[in-house]
Chains A and B, each alone.
Chain A
Amino acid sequence: MNILSEAAVEKALDKKMNDVSYKMIGQDVSVYYGDKRALYDVNLNVRENTVTALIGPSGCGKSTFLRTLNRMNDTIDGCRVTGRIALDGDDIYDPSIDVVELRARVGMVFQKPNPFPKSIYENVAYGPRIHGLARTRAEMDAIVEKSLQRAGLWNEVKDRLQESGTGLSGGQQQRLCIARAVAVSPEVILMDEPCSALDPIATARVEELIHELRANFTIVIVTHSMQQAARVSQRTAMFHLGQLVEENDTDKIFTNPDDQRTQDYIMGRFG
């Protein structure tokens, strides 16, 4: 490759960068757990109002990368992140960034439904309350109702808002967790295998929900199910052994991937 064509490539890349708007940008992201390196110089950007799926065999670093996006890695002893991650152009690991504010902007839904052992109402109201998003009881009621509606749970729980959130079924609990994340009006929602503990019907509900949420939120979802990635996402990133193998339109990844490893993984040859 000569110098001229390299410049041309750069230009093309630039153009691409300008065409789409990136909500989050990850540059040379590496993560270490103590001495063990879990991610190797990952360059991955997240597009706005898009569902980006992270796939790859287990242990390849999908969750690790996801956690760097809202600095949940900070809570793990001995975890170290290098590289640059930006939200709307601001480096989120910059000392001037408040992690509490960051997490109010980048919400998270976990693998196992983890509602607080409080009432359904309290579960949803907790985030808005600590961030002071509602001034009156009526405003709070409105936020709770809207969030539960967005999570497709309102009709099922509207008559028992004061009952315990832990008394719901697994699928309802996970949608409650989504409602809880949505209630703080984040810009990005991270989901780490949100359906892995759910039955197929509950999974379908959550996938439907992800579709609807896409209009208002940028979503990054880790999944071990190829079908799920294909169904819910527009962009897919394939990880392998701590490296980003490739990232592209979901259709392209599933029909004509550039990398042999992606091909093998999708065909079920490993993972």
Chain B
Amino acid sequence: MSQVTTSPATAAFKASVRPERRDIGLRRRYASERRFRLYGLAAIAFGLLFLFLLLSSVVSKGYTAFLQTKITIPVEFSEQVIDKDGERATDPKVLMTANYPVVARNALAKVLGVDPGDRAAMREVGGMISDSVRVQLRDLVVADPSVIGRTVDVAILAHGNVDSAYKGQIDLGVDEKNRKVSDRQVGWMNQLAETGALAGHFNTGLFTNGASSRPEAAGLGVALVGSLYMMLIVLVLSLPIGVAASIYLEEFAPKNRFTDLIEVNINNLAAVPSIVYGLLGLAVFVNFAGFPRSAALVGGLVLTLMTLPTIIIATRAALKAVPPSIRAAALGLGASNMQTVFHHVLPLAMPGILTGTIIGLAHALGETAPLLLIGMVAFVADVPATPLDPATALPVQIYMWANEAERAFVERTSGAIIVLLIFLILMNVGAILLRRRFERRW
């Protein structure tokens, strides 16, 4: 290196007279670039902060919804209580209407060593068990009547208040009168927890149960199936219709006043508030066409109308972005218009179309207002078998739970939000994967 510095060329370079340097504002330019970067970083940090706040608040409130406190005790299916006159062989209704809560209460009292004659204590024992036990034990007995007279271990849902207390969501420091669980119940709770009879289990009911006024028995089952039906309907209808409309408008329709008007109208439709689509759906699909109220079919149709403009706009943008040289190449080879579009333009536009479609679907999945108008805000306990049965949707379920007073519904609301977010994330990941797949297929 030292050779280089002493080489004659360098010497000559040093000797040459330097022209005076002009001020071309370099310092100012770099400063403004630095400032711009700072703004960008600040904006992103701000966004991340809010995302973190949102997620941490939802997750910290909601993760307990995925756990459900259950009390596992030996239950004696006493013939005395269930069918004391021995009529079940002739009258199956007996099994349906038997007093199962008493069966459960007695079983729990026995485990806790409570005197069955102490009515106040017995009432408190009964208060530890979810009212849904009636259905749970009934189903068990109806499915297998031979359990009558025997003693079987059953995991019974704890009452919502016990569930909340066990999860530490009820402040036990306040006066006993002002809280939902008594000191005696807390004592029993600890006693049961010590023996392992009372414990948190993964809450499968959250995904399978329908609506219930008891938070411990309420689940997203109906909403999940309803949302699934609606997403399928939206996908099956809006993707082909939207893509076909865009292809026609972009590649085949003459460019004139009329098609300009259509374009403006489509853009306007995308900006129409979603509740207006709900009114439209109510008027057209429910009142005029006579489809059943609260049905996923109507919800799907309304969301299809709402999603179509989004898909059309995204598809047209994706088609426009395909370089004209590709079209020219295909046409120059003698491909027809249709062949040019379907062999070359559409495959290249596919990533954009899919992204637009999935964004549209994600919007539709999170849409609440139009569904309220067509009656999907109903109390539906049974999982819909077809899209014509009454159903709700995930966001509507969140809305309904958020309006409930009980403490146990708070965590369920957040739990449902987590489920909805997971679905949205899955859809977006799907969009990215699909795009990758199509992009690699040059």
Contacts and interface: CB of A to CB of B under 8 A. Distances in A.
B329 interface: yes
A16 B98 CA distance: 113
Contact of B332 (A77, A110, A130): A110
B198 interface: no
Q: Which of A100, A112, A115, A181 has the most CB of B within 10 A?
A: A100
Contacts of A127: 333-334
Interface of A: 70, 72, 75, 77, 100-104, 107-108, 110, 112, 114-119, 126-127, 130-131, 164, 166, 177, 180-181, 184
Contacts of B328: 72, 75, 108, 110, 114
- Give the residue among A72, A126, A184 with the most B Cβ atoms within 10 A: A126
Nearest to A183: B333
B331 A75 contact: yes
B328 to A, nearest CB: 6
A100 B348 contact: no
Interface residues of B, number: 19
A14 to B, nearest CB: 34
25 contacts: A70-B332, A72-B332, A75-B328, A77-B255, A100-B334, A100-B335, A102-B334, A103-B332, A103-B333, A108-B328, A108-B332, A114-B323, A114-B325, A114-B328, A116-B326, A117-B348, A126-B333, A126-B335, A126-B343, A127-B333, A130-B343, A131-B334, A164-B442, A177-B329, A180-B333
Query: Interface of chain B, helix or strand or loop or mixed?
Result: helix
Interface string B344-373: 100010000000000000000000000000
Contacts of B332: 70, 72, 103, 107-108, 110, 181
Interface in B230-250: none
A100 B348 CA distance: 23
Nearest to B325: A114
A35 to B, nearest CB: 17
Which 9 A-B pairs have CB atoms at the shortest separation, nearest pair first? A114-B325, A104-B334, A103-B334, A108-B332, A127-B333, A117-B442, A114-B329, A164-B442, A100-B334
Interface string B189-233: 000000000000000000000000000000000000000000000
B442 A110 contact: no
Contact of B329 (A100, A116, A119): A116
B339 interface: yes
Given A75-B328, A77-B255, A131-B334, 5 more contacts: A70-B332, A72-B331, A110-B329, A114-B325, A116-B326
Contacts of A101: 334
B336 interface: yes
A130 B255 CA distance: 28
B258 to A, nearest CB: 15
Contacts of A70: 332
A43 B72 CA distance: 99
A77 B256 CA distance: 11
A130 B335 contact: yes
A117 B328 CA distance: 14
A184 B334 contact: yes
Residue from B332, B335, B339, B348 having most chain A Cβ neighbours under 10 A:
B332
A101 B442 CA distance: 28
Interface in B73-101: none
Contacts of A131: 334
Interface string B382-402: 000000000000000000000
Given A117-B348, A166-B442, A112 B325 contact: yes
B339 to A, nearest CB: 6
A131 B336 CA distance: 10
A102 B348 CA distance: 27
Contact of B334 (A75, A118, A119, A130): A130
A110 B325 contact: yes
Nearest to A119: B442
A116 B329 CA distance: 8
B344 to A, nearest CB: 6
A181 B335 CA distance: 12
B344 A116 contact: yes
A107 B333 contact: yes
A130 B339 contact: yes
B333 A130 contact: yes
B333 A114 contact: no
A191 to B, nearest CB: 11
Nearest to A103: B334
